[in-house]
């Protein structure tokens, strides 16, 4: 029915960790993106969204996150016609210096402020919305 995708809005020192998706990627190649990936079939399991996201972040950019907080969910259809449910979590950077570890998926890692993300020409509209929501949540949690 659906592919379930999870993404991490990783915040550290006033900036968001974004990746430049590889041009080889079937969906949204060459655009800015949050770090994340698809849930795999696990049968019966718990915390699949959180565990998948932590694993994908380590695999793609080589760092660890903590304090995952739900931001929002949405659905979209890829260019190949695959229906995707996308779930975004606000994450705190815990350890590791992020780098483009998975060259098949990631061309570069970039730390950007909220305004830099919103003003960048390679930022898709859905990413702008996710960053606005994550930024709002971050500020409401710190008050």
| Distance (Å, whole) CA 138 – CA 143 | 9
> For the segment 54-64, what is each residue's pLDDT rounded down to a tens digit?
999 999 999 99
Helices (H), 62-124: 114-119
| Distance (Å, whole) CA 120 – CA 45 | 39
CATH number reported for the structural domain that contains residue 121 in this entry: 3.90.79.10
Q: Report how many domains make up the chain.
A: 1
pTM for the predicted model, two decimal places: 0.91
The whole-number pLDDT of residue 82 equals 92
The domain in which residue 39 lies consists of: 3-142
| Distance (Å, whole) CA 56 – CA 44 | 20
* % of the chain at pLDDT higher than 90: 75
């Amino acid at each position: 029915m659906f592919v379930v995708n999870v993404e991490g809005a990783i915040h550290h020192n006033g900036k968001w960790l974004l990746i430049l998706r590889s041009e080889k990627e079937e969906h949204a190649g060459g655009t800015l993106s949050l770090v994340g990936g698809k849930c795999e079939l696990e049968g019966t399991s718990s915390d699949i969204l959180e565990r998948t996201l932590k694993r994908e972040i380590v695999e793609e950019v080589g760092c660890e996150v903590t304090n995952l907080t739900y931001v929002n969910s949405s659905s979209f259809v890829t260019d190949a016609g695959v229906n995707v449910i996308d779930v975004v979590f606000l994450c705190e950077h815990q350890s590791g210096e992020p780098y483009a570890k998975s060259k098949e998926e990631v061309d570069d890692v970039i730390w950007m402020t909220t305004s830099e993300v919103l003003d960048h020409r390679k930022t898709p509209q859905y990413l702008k919305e996710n960053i606005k929501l994550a930024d709002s949540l971050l500020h409401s949690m710190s008050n």
